[in-house]
Amino acid sequence: MTDVFSAINGRTSANNFDATHLMSQAEITELAQLTNQTPTSFNQQNWRLVAVNTPAAKARLKAAAYNQPKVGDAAVTFVVVGKIGGHKDLPTLIKPMLDGGYIDQAAFDGWIGMANGMYDGKDQFQRDEAIRSASMAAMTLMYAAHGKGLVSGAMIGFDPAAVSAECKLAADEIPVMLIAVGRPAPGNWPRKVRRAVADVVSFSAD
Ligand SMILES: Cc1cc2nc3c(=O)[nH]c(=O)nc-3n(C[C@H](O)[C@H](O)[C@H](O)COP(=O)(O)O)c2cc1C
């Protein structure tokens, strides 16, 4: 168990993974369960994970990721998928809250109505939301892995069309990021330097 500050300060991007380390479906599912706590706009949950953990599938994904060795070596590489137009799923996703008495019909209708008003007909905004949500999930996944004593490596170095074909993504789905997860092999870099904090925060004027 790792506390949140240790996780934030301790996580680094791994490039070298122990290729002998395998993860069971139960272990992978536990990471997915933790990732599933990620917040999303309107709770639209417009993302999902494809876990690539078999030798043949890893080899195909590696080819689609410009042969980055970590895709072949890591116990699992997750394809973090974002869904365009995910707000249209809200009636189904929010219904359990109505049925469970957490919200009443007026709140339910207002929730759906506000989401439709915000996203309907706005293709770029829907795509932005898919990438936003999947990116949030990707970060949760990396911290979940860290908490389990594993390392992770995020990747945008891949051919989106090839990854979409490999994972049989629907037309409204985008492969947002790959996240390799496993045990480290020697040779990983320490945390890279960051900008001074004064460069990343400013304060509002009165
Ligand atoms: C969205 C995203 C995409 C990345 N893509 C790649 C990649 O394709 N290949 C790679 O080796 N590292 C990739 N990285 C890792 C970054 O280079 C790394 O996070 C950064 O240098 C900071 O290192 P640190 O996480 O160890 O602090 C990516 C990281 C992020 C967040």
Domain with residue 137: its CATH number is: 3.40.109.10
User: Which pLDDT value is given to residue 42?
Assistant: 98
Reported as a single tens digit per residue, the pLDDT across 14-51 is 999 999 999 999 999 999 999 999 999 999 999 999 99
Reported as a single tens digit per residue, the pLDDT across 100-158 is 999 999 999 999 999 999 999 999 999 999 999 999 999 999 999 999 999 999 999 99
pLDDT band at 172 (very low <50, low <70, confident <90, very high): very high
Q: Is residue 137 in some structural domain?
A: yes
157 lines ligand 1 (CB under 6 A): yes
User: Which pLDDT value is given to residue 33?
Assistant: 98
188 lines ligand 1 (CB under 6 A): no
User: Which pLDDT value is given to residue 70?
Assistant: 98
15 lines ligand 1 (CB under 6 A): yes
Choose one of 13, 70, 188 to mutate for the ligand 1 pocket test, by most ligand atoms within 8 angstroms of C-beta.
13
User: Which pLDDT value is given to residue 2?
Assistant: 66
pLDDT band at 1 (very low <50, low <70, confident <90, very high): low
135 lines ligand 1 (CB under 6 A): no
Q: Please tell me the distance from the alpha carbon of residue 64 to that of residue 160, in angstroms, as a whole number.
A: 8
Q: Is residue 103 in some structural domain?
A: no
177 lines ligand 1 (CB under 6 A): yes
Q: 10 Å Cβ neighbour count for 28?
A: 17
Full domain range(s) for residue 33: 11-87+124-188
**75 CA from centroid of ligand 1 (Å):** 18
Q: Is residue 32 in some structural domain?
A: yes
Q: Please tell me the distance from the alpha carbon of residue 105 to that of residue 88, in angstroms, as a whole number.
A: 18
User: Which pLDDT value is given to residue 181?
Assistant: 99
Choose one of 67, 80, 156 to mutate for the ligand 1 pocket test, by most ligand atoms within 8 angstroms of C-beta.
156
Q: Is residue 146 in some structural domain?
A: yes
Report the number of distinct structural domains present in the chain.
1
195 lines ligand 1 (CB under 6 A): no
Main-chain phi, psi angles of 137, to 5 degrees: -65, -40
- Reference 47, options 151, 145, 136, 114; nearest CA is 136
Q: Is residue 100 in some structural domain?
A: no
Q: Is residue 54 in some structural domain?
A: yes
Q: Is residue 178 in some structural domain?
A: yes
Reported as a single tens digit per residue, the pLDDT across 51-103 is 999 999 999 999 999 999 999 999 999 999 999 999 999 999 999 999 999 99
Q: Is residue 61 in some structural domain?
A: yes
